Structures are given as structure tokens and as C-alpha cells.
Amino acid sequence: MSKIPWKADLLLAPLPAVLVSCGTPDAPCVLTAAWAGIVNSQPPKTYVSIRPQRHSYAIVRQSREFVINLTTRAMMRQVDLCGVRSGRDVDKFALCGFTPQAIAGIGCPAIAQCPVSLGCRVTDILSLESHDMFLADIVSVSADESLVDANNRLQLSRADLLVYVGGAYHALGERLESSHYTAQKKPDHK
């Protein structure tokens, strides 16, 4: 490849297009986030970076809990809506037809329509410049039973997940094969 210099930019891809739910079962809130990821294996840790101006920011900061809900191709319009409308002005759960669903160990609701939800408890808040990064323990996971195969393994590739690349939504492509790293590792080592 003949590479050219490019400006320093946020060019990691693909990124997840997740719905981060927070609040309470009676007053749930949700925002779309692409600045989210895994940062540690044991204990399982994740993060989401949220601008302090967001309505959800104050809720997560105060409750120190949130749920990361994975999204699907079929949910693209709702994901986009939750990324442009604010919970300050509208009940996004009602607008999108989302059902709040309890998740173990966390007081805020997951979204029943999402195939996988990660219940997260905040351990650290890192103030960067535009965003604050909420580092969190993944304390529980709930997954749609149709994703579990005959060997009791979770097959995420069945979920038709939505991702974010270069400012646009994409569906994941073809599953190629299991990584050798995954095949070699002991069951609880990542």
C-alpha cells in the first residue's frame, strides 16, 4: 500500500453504535453512543464517554450506573433518533417504543428490544476535554435466548449488529472464522 499522511483524527473503526440507558424504570433515559468500548478483561471493564452537556450525563454521574445495550440493523432509525433528540425534551423510551427491562445488580433499566445488555457500575470518572469517560465494571449481562447455540455459547454474529463507521451506520458483514487466539485460550482467559 502507498500511504499518505492524514490529519490526526478519530479514525478507529468500526465503532459500536450502542444505546446507553440510565435513570429509573419509571423515568428511563437513553442516548446513542459510539465512544464506548472494553478496557479490561478481569475484572470485566467497559467505558462510555459522554459530553457534560448531555441530559444523560448528570443522570449517570449521579447514579453511577448505566446499561450498554447492543443494537441491530432493524433498530437503526431508533438509534439515530436517540442520538439527536434529548431526554430533556422528550421521553425517548416512549418515542422509540422501548420497554424498560430489569437487569441484575443495576437499578437503571435495560432496553428489552436490544439483543444484549451490559449492566455497568461506574468506578472512575475521567474528565477529558470534550467528554467525561465513565469507566465501569460490567456487573451483569442479559442476552436474548435465540443467540445461545446448542453448545450453550453466545453467538453474537446471529444478532445482526449495527456499527458506526465514518459517520454512517453499517451492518456487520460475513462471519469468516473463529480467531485462533479465541480457540487457544483457556475458557476464562482473555
Pick one of 16, 54, 109, 113: the residue that binds ligand FMN (CB under 6 A).
54
Pick between residue 31 and residue 159 the one whose CB is nearest to ligand FMN. Answer: 31
Instruction: Tell the smallest beta-carbon distance from residue 45 to ligand FMN (Å).
Output: 17
Give the nearer residue to ligand FMN in terms of CB position, either 80 or 144: 80
28: contact with ligand FMN by CB under 6 A: no
Residues 164, 171: Cα–Cα separation, whole Å: 9
Q: Which three cell numbers stand for residue 140?
A: 451483569
Neighbours of 68 (CB within 10 A): 25
Question: Closest CB to ligand FMN among 9 and 188?
Answer: 9
DSSP state string for 84-150: TS-TTTS-HHHHHT--EEEETTEEEEEETTSSEEEEEEEEEEEE-SS-EEEEEEEEEEEE-GGGB-T
Residue 21 sits in the site that holds ligand FMN (CB under 6 A): no
User: Under rule CB under 6 A, which residues in 73-132 are in contact with ligand FMN?
Assistant: 80, 83-88, 131
**Spatial separation of the C-alpha atoms in residues 71 and 6, rounded to whole Å:** 31
- Closer to ligand FMN by Cβ: residue 34 or 114: 34
Amino acid at 44: P
Residues forming contacts to ligand FMN in the complex (CB under 6 A) are 17, 29, 31-35, 49-51, 54-56, 80, 83-88, 131, 164
